[in-house]
Structure 1
């Protein structure tokens, strides 16, 4: 190749005129941009007094310091529709591609400081374009939401495209592209579906809310009177409804959680994880004493995580919605892992939470780790009325159909359908190991003895031949039989696990297993139709 010989003289008057003209044109663009920023800044004191970060401050907190940000469609709608002076340009949002927790993401920040962040037709076009870019480039989409919704003056022009936006959200999720939304303010009517269709939803205590009909419309439509917090406040959605996944304390905390979610996602490159991880803050030796010798005494699965997770760090998922079933993100020797553990029986809310979490891990390609210690699903009139069977079935379906690597460690008891829901042997985990104190059975020995006693007693009463001595013996013999056949040695003898391990080796073993799973996924097999025959 030959070098190009330029024929332009950069020292001529013509060149200088061209340069000045270009500078003026670019300055006009910058002036238009600055006019929007100045409009936002003029309202900063008012919003700071309410404890709110301004939109661009939120963006700054979200992005990695010093990393580049490619703003998209910054002047969308400039002097169109009701934007007479250009101060409302941008379509109600600041959008662009930036780096969050070391990962390139597409970011949308609702610009509530300009016309309440309402969306004009140009703003709707911008939102759809942003979704298209996220889909085509496989970028996680993060939304910092606080918007007045569609500009009603142009509702006829935005209503149909708005439906496409919701459909795109569903398609992004199905395509495996995570969508994370921090709800900084109220999300009402159609606006509530944007976070509702996101994969991860963070809400701010005493600040954010979601409702299909706000208090005024609710009163007009039904006569019911309710406060915003009662109708759709952050605590209601995180504690009761389950629409919110994480409860933050303020704007900064909500953005921190969003960054942690991105950090918890697996690496995008098909390579082994970074070796720069930290050991747990608690010694592995302590795993020998974390689980009570008396299996009837509870313990928190978080105590196990503190001794196997990198830096003893975890990001719990929906911690307010149900505390019996633990779900969360950790890393083990650099590998991203989704953990499901037991702090008690599996409730309807716990089953719902676990099923949702499994789908999120499936979407992001995050391996799942099940730490068994469950008596099974909760029983009783109330949970039956709350649909424990159908909710439990959803969890079991999610476990059975998840394609990511699934690893199980039976730490305590693993009883009844709880064993199935926690990915026991029948659900084909990639690997399953057991601690030496573990037990696996259809039910606990004492419960089995009582069940047999009750059934036999009912038969005796029907024939008027009640015999307490016989009942005592049946209960005792049944309990002894179940006890003898459910311990770790009996279960491993039946190949219900892949072996018994020293609890202190749990972290090291899991790291090796995760290495195996990652390497297996990188291997491309060259299939043929006949196999290799010997000639």
Structure 2
């Protein structure tokens, strides 16, 4: 990653305030400029105990990979600092010499506040992720002037798509308004193609239980239509940001740009949930499989299902997810607009690739 980032002209500065051992030694060694703190930072492929075991040489950590060794002899570091504060001052001096990046060209407008108070989001979103609500109410409290140019408003209504601005930055929004059907999946794929053609960043507001299931929907091709949406999300060339505003279950996570689909940022609301399926569904499925082999009473079935439901309740919690870096942080719903403004501004520091070499396919 460091080599690839360097090839793309992304500056990398390393500040060694502790030990960089084994593979970690390559991080400062592959950086553009490296600072080390005297008497505190060390860089070596093997520490003193391993050196003694391998070669018999007895040497201190400072002699092996300290500031004088790498500042005077090896040249691995470029600057030697006397303490942490001095090191950070050097970092700031280095950053001041960097040339500012030319921001990606997008149709910016003067920011305007939404017409509706963001504090009202607490009353719009139900505490139960299974309870339905109109996602337009969320969008109206995030976008500039509460103005939303909706795409295919009457078709595939369980997925709301449209263009808006957030802090003056144009964004293409996809927001769940129910389970994904074939029509909504095709609509989403079509809309993502438009956004890529126009080089507009994508915002996914995720509250999804998954794709619709059942014999009728399989016969209608829900798998192939869902694949179109997943493919469009995976291959979209513009910046993508995802906010979990409710549930994030199963393949719906894929179609709405979950972590595996490389959003530049992924944030969660405190009420969100994430798992392969809901706890009740998981417990029922596993109970059915086991019941096929044994005859159970209702009490036995409940005894089997209760710990499964509890496991999903505990591990589908957003705090469990964020503690494992499955997202980039839990944010206050009322602060979502400000967070998105900063996040989208950051994404524009990287160039947006040229338009795809093919036109927009009508789905």
Alignment TM-score, normalising by the size of structure 2:
0.67
One of 290, 295, 300 as aligned partner of 1:456: 290
Counterpart check, 1:313 vs 2:313? no
In structure 1, the residue corresponding to 2:212 is in which secondary structure? Answer: coil
1:332 is aligned, of 166, 169, 190, to: 166
User: Residue 195 of structure 2 contacts residue 201 of structure 2 at CA under 8 Å; is this kept in 1?
Assistant: yes
Contact persistence 2:108–2:170 (CA under 8 A): no
What is the distance in 2 between the residues matched to 1:310 and 1:331?
5
The counterpart of 1:354, out of the listed 148, 170, 188, is 188
Q: How far apart are 1:318 and its partner, in Å?
A: 0.9
Q: Of residues 157, 162, 175 in structure 2, which corresponds to 1:341? A: 175
- Larger Rg computed on CA atoms: 1
Q: Confirm whether residue 510 of structure 1 aligns to residue 344 of structure 2.
A: no
Which of structures 1 and 2 has the larger relative contact order (alpha carbons within 8 angstroms, sep 6+)? Answer: 2
Matched, 1:497 2:327: yes
Q: Number of aligned pairs?
A: 251
In the other structure, the counterpart of 2:237 is 403
Deviations 1:13-55 (A, max 9, x none): xxxxxxxxxxxxxxxxxxxxxxxxxxxxxxxxxxxxxxxxxxx
Contact 1:281 1:306 in 2 (8 A): yes
Q: Is the 8 A contact 1:456 1:471 kept in 2?
A: no
- Please give the secondary structure, in 1, of the residue aligned with 2:348: helix
Equivalence for 1:287 = 121
Rounded Cα–Cα distance in structure 2 between residues aligned with 1:386 and 1:508: 41
* Aligned mates of 1:272, 1:519 — CA distance in 2: 11
Distance in 1 separating the partners of 2:111 and 2:332: 23
Q: For the residues of structure 1 that align with 2:255 and 2:110, how far apart are their CA atoms?
A: 34
Rounded to whole Å, the distance in 2 between the matches of 1:316 and 1:272 is 19
Instruction: Give 5+ residue unaligned stretches, structure 2.
Output: 1-102, 354-363
Out of 188, 193, 201, the position equivalent to 1:367 is 201
TM-score (norm 1): 0.46
Once residues 484 and 424 of structure 1 are traced to their aligned partners in structure 2, the CA distance between those partners, rounded to angstroms, is 20
Match of 2:171, SS state, is strand
Q: Tell me by how many angstroms 1:270 deviates.
A: 4.8
Select 1:422's aligned residue among 256, 259, 276. 256
CA distance in 2, matches of 1:521, 1:514: 13
